Amino acid sequence: MYELLFWRYLDEIYLNNQEVYEALLEKKEVEGLEILPIQLILNRISSVFSEWEKVDENSWQNNTGKGAFQVINTPQSIKIDCYGTEGKTMNKLVDLLEEFKCPLYDPQVPERYDEMSD
């Protein structure tokens, strides 16, 4: 499994990304993060991955190729667990969340890919 995690900071706030990640995994509310339009994001994922089989409310499986993913959310975050998913599919998910101004935090590295990490 490969994890992708996304959240958006409030203006003028930037926290320790690893600590934010750990708090969000425990489904804690993190002061300094925005509330996300979760349903809009899920609808957008459904639209972009409409050719994939929707296994349940928050899981998609590619029946014509590799991979599956599950979306787990809190009001402040979107976590996507990827199972055998190709890099180009993960990039598509990253781009999709960028539309909502939610940059990727990659806990495997660990690094957050936003303007503050330069």
Question: Whats the size of the chain, residue-wise?
Answer: 118
Q: Which fold has domain 2-113?
A: TATA-Binding Protein (3.30.310)
Which of 90, 12, 107, 110 has the alpha carbon at shortest distance from 45? Answer: 90
Which of 51, 36, 34 has the alpha carbon at shortest distance from 92? Answer: 51
Q: Using the Cα atoms of residue 2, residue 83, residue 54 and residue 64 in order, give the sign of their dihedral.
A: positive
The residues spanned by each domain of the chain are: 2-113
Give the residue-averaged pLDDT of 25-49.
Answer: 97
**Residue in the structure block whose two tokens are 């979760």:** 38
Is the per-residue pLDDT at 118 higher than 70?
no
Please tell me the predicted confidence (pLDDT) of residue 90: 97
Q: Where are the beta strands (DSSP E) in the chain?
A: 2-7, 53-56, 59-61, 68-74, 77-83, 104-106, 111-112
Query: CA-CA distance, 102 to 97, in Å (whole number)?
Result: 5
Structural tokens at position 77? 């975050």
pLDDT digits (tens, 9 = 90+) for 87-108: 999 999 999 999 999 999 999 9
